[in-house]
Structure 1
Amino acid sequence: MTAPLRLALVGFGMSGRSLHGRLIDAVDGLAVGAIVARSSSARSEAAAAFPDAQIVSSVAGLAALDDRPVLAVVATPDASHAEVTEEVLEAGFGTVVDKPLATTAAAARHLRDLARDRGLPIVPFQNRRWDGDFLTVRRVLESGLLGEVFHFDTSMDRWFPGSAPGWRGEAIPGGVDGALGGFGSHAVDQAVALFGPVQSVYGEVAKRRAASAVNDDVFLALRHMGGVTTHVSMALVRSDPSPRFRVQGLSGSFVKHGFDGQQPALIAGGDPRSPSWGAEPESDWGAVHLAGGTETVPTVPGAWTEFYRELALALHGAGELPVSVDDAIHVLDVLEAGRRSSETGEVVRPPS
């Protein structure tokens, strides 16, 4: 049998430990082979969770290993992604980078160019392309039931009256942060994955809570080059959330409430290899609304492990990388355009 491809985790907080580590562990042909954990307590936790992995305290220590991993996963706080990813690439490792790839489009372009110069893969971890509700939207669109689609609503709304906890509540001068950077990296990526590049953006980016250092109430109106309009709502101050998705076509609409449950399931210790992984109860299913009536649509099971399965195939030369780095750069261009639009009151065209 072929030995599993060994990946390294750079960072062993919640993202590295409960998300990336457990997803990698659930995919045949992959293994967590090394972990970079800077604190002694994190190194102890890493050794206990992955006893077969080599534990080091720095990227330099990772590069010095005799049995080097084939790729490193950057799972550090958002503001550090660009700096850590550059260090990983300079050390000779291809990389998966948790979202956002960087906090500015310029930094993301630098990382892309650096990876190309060194002949290394760089893959944004846009895992919500494998959310069950998003996969269901894709299936409904492919069915043709809605006819010509012209409008898409997507919302990521939360009710959190106090300031955001930890590093997520820290402002990033000159970079996308708050709800715009955190939720926007996913919501805009999903819209672009469905309807293609964005040609113009109108944005309203606000801070409603006095205790917050970052934006917490965001609305973006996107005009896709193909003609579809997307409205994106992202907030931490919504006590009555909007539908997660609403897709409107000339023949009908699809509406889905609720939110994919894979992240809380992983944090709670759920097994991504379980046959029931990613399944949603019937009470949470969405519905197609047509002239002839309403039809419930079963939610496609969510499957974040598919990101790593596709990555494994690509590393073996048997497929494409699961997400293009250029997609992540375009998303950052759109988010920056939304921020500029909010500042000027004008519609802004992101770089083509």
Structure 2
Amino acid sequence: MNRIGVGIIGNGMATRVFHAPYIQACDDLELKSIVDRKAGAVSPIEGARIVPDVAALLADPAIGLVVIATPSGTHAALARQVLEAGRHVVVEKPFTLALSEARDLAALARGRGLTLSVFHNRRWDTDFLAVRSALEAGLIGRVVHFESHFDRFRPHVRERWREDGSPGSGVWYDLGPHLIDQALVLFGRPDAVSADIAALREGSGSPDYAHVVLRYPGKRVIVHASMLVAGGEPRFRVHGTGGSLIKQNLDPQEAQSVAGLRPGEAEWGVDPDPLVHHDGEGGVRSIPAPRGSQERFYAMMAQACLGTGPTPAGLDEIVCVQEVLEAALVSAKEGRVVSLLP
């Protein structure tokens, strides 16, 4: 079987927790090389050689797919370089820092006949899959209020690029794309966006709080991320004309991967926290959460590169996420509701 050779640019947490193990779980992909300018700083990933720069990676004709897992401000330029070299691309979120860059890269990929996607792995989270299934089954009628939280308690600013105020740092660029993408999968493109994005921790150089409302006719979708929530908020609260849904805890796959568990093992993606359904007449029942499967992203990406299946997150979808991400930043800066053009 001809497997697609994969190279990863960047050797940080995202590579070691998400990309490398998920790629290695896919029969159609072979992780060959990782670009790491600080070779030797961390232990090597089994089966992958370390190369010093992007040029060395792209010089290998066996590399057909390149994953960009570098600081956010570098994504657009690297994606363009890789596409122009004729390789398929996966970009870590956020896709880019500007909507114009996202549109240009989508056009470049279309023009070159290449597969380009953003790593929206959280489409396969247990919590999201549980809520999506319940909504598709019509358990609570028409949704009028949807609330999605991705909260943490990290009261002290850490010395890392995600928090240092550099381009693309901050909680909205970090977690906003996941929250937006899940909302768009469920409800499509909103009519307008309003946002409050701020730095609330002492000494914070980048936003650590984001409360964003996506406005739809007859429905409000709230996506929220904060670094100052001890004990946590429910991951999802969804209210409709026929009842409510509450999902308390976050999907376990990231924590499982950090602990050394891998896709295919018995406990992988198992979430003991159920979805709670309130039927509006006093009835309450617990619905077991489905098994999570974030590795599905790369199974789909491989099929898309081979021309035998759809892209896990399509070009129009990844551009729309960027559109909402940017609209929220404008709203927060200017203190107004930002309408999305048709």
- The partner residue of 1:134 within 123, 128, 138 is 128
SS where residue 239 of structure 2 aligns? strand
RMSD: 1.7
Matched, 1:279 2:270: yes
SS in 2 for 1:129: helix
Distance 1:351 1:268, change over 3 A: farther
Distance in 2 (CA, whole Å) between partners of 1:58 and 1:115 is 23
Q: State the match for 1:62 in structure 2.
A: 57
1:229 equivalent to 2:224? Answer no
Measured after TM superposition, the shift of residue 342 of structure 1 is: 1.9
Question: Is this contact kept in 2: 1:333–1:351, CA < 8 A?
Answer: no
Tell me what 1:208 maps to: 200
Pairwise CA distance, 1:114: 2.2
Counterpart position of 1:148: 142
Contact 2:37–2:52 at 8 Å: present in 1 too? yes
CA contact (8 A) 2:115 2:304 kept: no
Q: How far does the alpha carbon of each residue in 1:162-185 deviate from its partner, in whole angstroms, 9 at most, with x for none?
A: 114411102245xx5411111111
Within 2, Cα distance between the matches of 1:323 and 1:111?
Answer: 14
User: TM-score, normalization: structure 2?
Assistant: 0.94
Question: Which of 330, 335, 345 is the aligned partner of 2:335?
Answer: 345
| C-alpha displacement of 1:350 | 2.9
Q: Which aligned pairs between 1:241-256 and structure 2 lie closer than 5 A?
A: 241-256=232-247
Following superposition, the deviation at residue 244 of structure 1 comes to 0.6
SS of alignment partner, residue 339 of structure 2 = coil
SS in 1 for 2:43: helix
Residues 5-84 of structure 1 correspond to what in structure 2 (within 5 A)? Answer: 5-41=4-40, 45-46=43-44, 49-51=45-47, 53-65=48-60, 67-84=61-78
| Aligned equivalent of 1:294, options 284, 288, 293 | 284
> 1:121: which partner in 2?
115
Alpha-carbon distance in 2 for matches of 1:10, 1:82? 13
Q: TM-score, with normalisation over the residues of structure 1?
A: 0.92
Deviations 1:57-82 (A, max 9, x none): 222112222x4211111111222111
Work out whether residues 62 and 68 of structure 1, in 8 Å CA contact, stay in contact via their aligned partners in 2: no
Q: Residue 37 of structure 2 aligns to a residue in which SS?
A: coil
Aligned to 2:248: 257
Cα distance in 1 for residues equivalent to 2:210 and 2:158: 15
Q: Give the unaligned 5+ runs of structure 1.
A: none
Letter aligned with residue 88 of structure 1: V
C-alpha distance in structure 1 between counterparts of 2:158 and 2:73, whole Å: 15
Q: Does 1:322 align with 2:312?
A: yes
CA deviation map 1:233-268 (0-9, x unaligned): 111112242211011111101101111111121122
Matched, 1:157 2:146: no
Equivalent residue number for residue 2 of structure 2:
3
Structure 1 SS opposite 2:244? strand
8 Å Cα contact 2:88/2:305 also seen in 1? no
Deviation at 1:292, TM superposition (A): 4.5
Equivalent pair of 1:59/1:91 in contact (CA under 8 Å)? no
CA distance in 1, matches of 2:236, 2:158: 24
In the alignment, the residues of structure 2 paired with residue 271 and residue 129 of structure 1 have an alpha-carbon distance, to the nearest angstrom, of 18
- The AA in structure 2 aligned to 1:321 is T
Cα distance, 1:124 vs structure 2:
0.6
Structure 1 distance, partners of 2:178, 2:218, is 21
Tell me if structure 2 keeps the 8 A contact 1:60–1:91: no
Report the 3-state secondary structure (helix = DSSP H, G, I; strand = E; otherwise coil) of the residue aligned with 1:266: helix
> Aligned pair 1:100/2:94, yes or no?
yes
1:123-146 residue CA offsets vs partner (Å, 9 max, x unmatched): 111001110100001110122111
Amino acid of the residue matched to residue 21 of structure 1?
A
Q: Which moved more, 1:93-102 or 1:28-37?
A: 28-37
